[in-house]
Every structure is written in structure tokens, then in C-alpha cells.
């Protein structure tokens, strides 16, 4: 099975069909994907600009900044591939070779995997901060977020590089095995870890002290994981089923859902921090500060903080 079967299939007509027959549904879906992807690029670009240059760096913003890079990269792939399919449909000719399409797929796999890995790390760390607050405040390594992000980037590069070396050299059986192994890693290790940790976080916060409302950050994490399960998880599942010769929906729909997932995060950050105020450049920065800088509160290790802690330490 060739690697191209895991990505949106080229629009070249089958033998015996009208070479200029246009699938209106696919064209419409690609158009919507382009529109959402462009909006997502703007949103993630704003996240990169604000978190990179205008908001004080803390453990959570390091993760969110890297997550925005992964989403931005994935949206670039989606926009480029969707535009190519629209042009191919309109011109009734092949615009790029299959090798370039496979390269686009590798780029999408790299950024999609990285987004999953980062969401898992964020969920586990915030869950740990709730279950073991004293350790998190007093003993957490200062540069843990940066080190974890670097390791996850290395892991994502290593996984995709292995797949690339096998698939781009037309070793079909080894290519299929490597793809299946990658999807099993995503579906059976990272995705369950993310869901379990975010569920524990939600339950712990919901059933914790009634004197404090859940922090915006915890709600953002829970919503982001929920959106992943709704919009991004189908892409990994669809790719896995493709390797087993099962097709449950069209590739255009799957990539549209994944595009929505990568585009909706900046809107979630803004809405959770804006308190529904009028959107402006200043209020956008303030909204992000409300979400991501509130985690700085009470993080200093002191005797008073230890005495005031309600949740038992680990």
C-alpha cells in the first residue's frame, strides 16, 4: 500500500470517466477548508506574536507557543494541498507530482503528531499541578517545559523521519508497517494519556474547593482536549483505517475537521479571557494574559503557601 493512500487522493480522473468532470461537493469542502485555514493562520499567528513577544513567559505559555507553531505548520499544509486540489479540479490537469503530495503528507503527519504530543504533555502537567501542588510549586524543574517541548519535537522528527525513509523509497510493506506503528503509538499511548489526565484534572477541579471557581486555564485545557477528540482524532483514526483498507468517510471531510481543530484554539483562548468584551488589539493581549498568566498566581514556594494549601501533597 502506498503512502499516498493516507492523504487526500489526487483528483486525476479514473479511466473511462470525463477528464473534466468536477466534483462539486469536494470543491465546496476544499473551499471551506481554505477559508477556515486562512482564519486559523491569522489566529495562530496572533498567538505566536503575543506569546512570543508581549506576554511574560511561564511554563504553560512555552507549551502553548509550541502548540501554535505545530498548528500553524499543519494549516500551511492543509491550505497548500486544498489549493492544489481546487486548481487541479478547475484545470482538469495534474499540478504537482505524487512525490510532492507525499511530502505534504509527511509535513502534516509531523505537525499533527506534534500537536497531539504537546496536548498530552500539557494535560499531564496541569493534572500533576492539581494532584501534587506542593511538588509543583517547590520542586518542579525550572526549565521542564522547554526540555519537554524539545524532546517532543525530537520524537516527532524521529517518527516522521523513519516513516519518510521507508515510504519515499517505495518500500511499501515496511512503509505500511511504520505507518501502522505510528498510529498505534498515537491512538494507544498519547491519546489515552491525554484523555485520562484531562478527565482527572476536570474532576479534581470540579469536585475540589467550592470557594474557588475553576481557573480559565483549566477550562481551556479541557475544551482543547474535547475539540481534539471531536475534530482531530478522526484524522489519526482515518489514516490508521486506511492502512487496513477501510474507508469510513472522504479525506476532504477528515482534513476539514482537522483544520477546524487547529484553527479554533486561538478563538478559545480569546473567548475564555475576554469576558465577551469588544475585540481589539489591546483586549486580545489582555485576554491572553488572563488565561495564561493566572497560572503564575501562588506558584512561589513559601511556608505560608504550604500552610495554606488545602489539597494534600504527594
In a domain, 176, yes or no: yes
Q: Which long-range contacts (CB under 8 A, 24 or more apart) does 19-28 make?
A: 19/92, 20/92, 22/89, 22/90, 23/89, 26/85, 26/89, 26/250, 26/252, 27/86, 27/89
If you average pLDDT over residues 283-300, what whole number do you get? 68
Residue 211, domain extent: 22-297
- Identify the pLDDT of residue 101: 73
If you average pLDDT over residues 64-76, what whole number do you get? 95
If you average pLDDT over residues 132-157, what whole number do you get? 90
Q: How far apart are CA 297 and CA 34, in angstroms?
A: 40
What confidence tier does 19 reach under pLDDT thresholds 50, 70, 90? Answer: low
In a domain, 246, yes or no: yes
Of the listed ranges 86-90, 127-131, 310-314, the one predicted with least confidence = 310-314
- Identify the pLDDT of residue 243: 84
Q: How far apart are CA 11 and CA 34, in angstroms?
A: 17
In a domain, 13, yes or no: no
In a domain, 128, yes or no: yes
What confidence tier does 256 reach under pLDDT thresholds 50, 70, 90? Answer: very high
pLDDT score of 230 more than 70: yes
Query: Do residues 11 and 63 touch, judged by C-beta distance below 8 A?
Result: no
pLDDT score of 304 more than 60: no
Question: Can you give the pTM of this predicted structure?
Answer: 0.84
Distances in Å between the alpha carbon of 137 and those of 21, 130, 198? 62, 11, 20
Q: Across all residues in the chain, what is the average pLDDT? A: 81
In a domain, 194, yes or no: yes
pLDDT score of 134 more than 90: no
pLDDT score of 65 more than 90: yes
- Identify the pLDDT of residue 12: 39
pLDDT score of 7 more than 50: no
In a domain, 12, yes or no: no
Of the listed ranges 194-203, 224-233, 268-277, the one predicted with least confidence = 268-277
Total number of domains in the chain = 1
In a domain, 17, yes or no: no
Q: Return the C-alpha cell found at 29.
A: 469542502
Higher per-residue pLDDT: 165 or 18: 165
- Identify the pLDDT of residue 20: 63
**What would the pLDDT profile of 160-215 be if each residue is shown by its tens digit?**
999 888 887 777 888 889 889 999 999 999 999 999 999 998 888 777 655 455 67
Higher per-residue pLDDT: 308 or 301: 301
In a domain, 16, yes or no: no
What confidence tier does 306 reach under pLDDT thresholds 50, 70, 90? Answer: very low
The CATH number given to whatever domain includes residue 49 is 1.20.1070.10
Amino acid at each position: 500500500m502506498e503512502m499516498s493512500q493516507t492523504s487526500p487522493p489526487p483528483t486525476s480522473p479514473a479511466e473511462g470517466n470525463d477528464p473534466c468532470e468536477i466534483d462539486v461537493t469536494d470543491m465546496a469542502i476544499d473551499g471551506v477548508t481554505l477559508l477556515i485555514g486562512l482564519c486559523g493562520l491569522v489566529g495562530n499567528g496572533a498567538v505566536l506574536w503575543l506569546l512570543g513577544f508581549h506576554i511574560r513567559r511561564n511554563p504553560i505559555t512555552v507549551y502553548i507557543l509550541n502548540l501554535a507553531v505545530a498548528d500553524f505548520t499543519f494549516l500551511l499544509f492543509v491550505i497548500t494541498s486544498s489549493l492544489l486540489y481546487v486548481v487541479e479540479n478547475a484545470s482538469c490537469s495534474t499540478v504537482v507530482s505524487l512525490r510532492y503530495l507525499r511530502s505534504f503528507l509527511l509535513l502534516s503527519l509531523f505537525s499533527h503528531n506534534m500537536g497531539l504530543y504537546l496536548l498530552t504533555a500539557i494535560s499531564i502537567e496541569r493534572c500533576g499541578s492539581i494532584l501534587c501542588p506542593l511538588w509543583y510549586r517547590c520542586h518542579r524543574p525550572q526549565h521542564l517545559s522547554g526540555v519537554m517541548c524539545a524532546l517532543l519535537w525530537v520524537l516527532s522528527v524521529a517518527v516522521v523521519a523513519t516513516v519518510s525513509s521507508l515510504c519515499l523509497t517505495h518500500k511499501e510493506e515496511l512503509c505500511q508497517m511504520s505507518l501502522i506503528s505510528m498510529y498505534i503509538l498515537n491512538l494507544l499511548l498519547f491519546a489515552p494519556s491525554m484523555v485520562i489526565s484531562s478527565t482527572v484534572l476536570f474532576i479534581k477541579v470540579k469536585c475540589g474547593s467550592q470557594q474557588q471557581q475553576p481557573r480559565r486555564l483549566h477550562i481551556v485545557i479541557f475544551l482543547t482536549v474535547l475539540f481534539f477528540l471531536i475534530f482531530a482524532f478522526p484524522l489519526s483514526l482515518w489514516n490508521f483505517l486506511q492502512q487496513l483498507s477501510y474507508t469510513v468517510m472522504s479525506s476532504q471531510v477528515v482534513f476539514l475537521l482537522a483544520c477546524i481543530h487547529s484553527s479554533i484554539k486561538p478563538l478559545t483562548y480569546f473567548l475564555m479571557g475576554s469576558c465577551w468584551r469588544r475585540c481589539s488589539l489591546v483586549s486580545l493581549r489582555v485576554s491572553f494574559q488572563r488565561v495564561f498568566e493566572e497560572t503564575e498566581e501562588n506558584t512561589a514556594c513559601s511556608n505560608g503557601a504550604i500552610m495554606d494549601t488545602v489539597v494534600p501533597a504527594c
